[in-house]
Amino acid sequence: MGYFKINLGDAQTDFRKEDAMELERIYVKKAFQNKQIGQKMLDEVIEMAVQRKMRYLWLGVWEKNTRAINFYLRNNFQHNGSHPYMVGRDLQTDKIMKLQLL
């Protein structure tokens, strides 16, 4: 159906702050999309971050994934920079988005 992956401390890909948690991946199989599963997973991740007393939750999302960007914006994430990366010979960019918790 789907999964998420979080990173804490040195496992984070960019910020590596002790008071932050990275949501590295959140996926829902196509057959299960539009059933609020992604929202439930995100709510669980936010609760995990709050329980750990994190200041913020952050993630990178591909700049052309407007559906995901809009999902995060609806959940009060804000744009907070960008991160370029290579896929083969193709330069792509992730938007960095943060959700302030404390």
Catalytic residue among 3, 27, 56, 72: 72
Residue 15 has pLDDT above 80, yes or no: no
pLDDT digits (tens, 9 = 90+) for 23-52: 999 999 999 989 999 999 999 999 999 999
Residues 91 and 81: their CA atoms lie apart, in Å, by: 16
Distances (CA, A) of 48 to 14, 22, 37, 81: 20, 11, 17, 24
Sheet holding 90-100, edge to edge: 2-8, 20-28, 56-62, 90-100, 78-87
What is 2-100's CATH superfamily? Gcn5-related N-acetyltransferase (GNAT) (3.40.630.30)
Look up 72 and say whether it is catalytic. yes
d(CA 29, CA 99): 24
pTM higher than 0.85: yes
